[in-house]
Amino acid sequence: MRCSRGGARGAAKSSQSVLKGSSIAGFPKRARLLRSQDFRRVYDRGSRFSSSLFAAFCVREAQPCGSRIGLTVPRALGPAVVRNRIKRRFREAVGFALDQLSPQWSIVINPRSKALNASFPELRSEVERLFRRCNGS
C-alpha cells in the first residue's frame, strides 16, 4: 500500500470554500476507505458500535498511513442529493476529530435517518464519542 502525504491539514475550511476535487480539510483521501474489499474486511472482522445517528464497524489493524474511515449511506435514506449531503456532513465531522483517533483503526460508518436532521455539533460529538471508544479498547 502506498501512502501519499498530500491533503489539507492547515487551517480548517468550511466545505463551501474548498475547491471542487479538493479534500475536506482534516480528512484527506489517504485517510479514507475507498475499495470495496477494504469495506468488506471491516464488516467481517470488525466490532459494531451503535449510536442514534449511525452504526459503525471498527477493526484494529496495522495501518502504515494511519487510521482509515469509510462511509456507506443506504439508498433508503433518500435520493442522491440527500445521501451526498449526509456524506459531506460526516466527512466534515470526521475531519474535526480525526487527530483524536489512534492510527491503527479502520472504521466504516453507516448513517441512520436521524442523521438527516441532527445538528452539526450533535453529529460531531457522536463521532468523537466513537473515536474515544475505539481508543479505549
Model confidence over 79-106: pLDDT tens digits?
Answer: 999 999 999 999 999 999 988 888 899 9
**CA gap 23, 8 in Å, rounded:** 7
Label residue 56 by pLDDT band (50, 70, 90).
Answer: very high
Residue 13, pLDDT above cutoff 60: no
Largest Cα–Cα distance in the chain? Answer: 38
Mean pLDDT score of the chain: 83
Query: Going by C-beta distance under 8 Å and a sequence separation of 6 or more, which residues neighbour residue 30?
Result: 3, 4, 5, 6, 7, 65, 66
Higher pLDDT: 10 or 115? It is: 115
| CB-CB contact of 31 with 131 (8 Å) | no
Residue 77 and residue 111 in contact, taking contact as beta carbons nearer than 8 Å: yes
Phi, psi of 130 (to 5 degrees): -60, -45
C-alpha to C-alpha distance for 30 and 66, rounded to whole angstroms: 9
Residue 20 has pLDDT above 80, yes or no: no
d(CA 133, CA 107): 12
pLDDT at residue number 64:
77
Each residue's pLDDT tens digit, 112-132 = 999 999 999 999 999 999 999
Distance from C-alpha of 37 to C-alpha of 5, rounded to nearest angstrom: 23
- Write the CATH number of the domain with boundaries 31-126: 3.30.230.10
Give residue-wise pLDDT tens across range 58-67. Answer: 999 887 778 8
User: What angle, rounded to 10 degrees, do the helices at 120-136 and 80-97 form?
Assistant: 50
Average pLDDT of the residues in 48-75? 91
Distance CA 87, CA 32 (A): 12
Domain ranges of the chain: 31-126
Amino acid identity, position 107: I
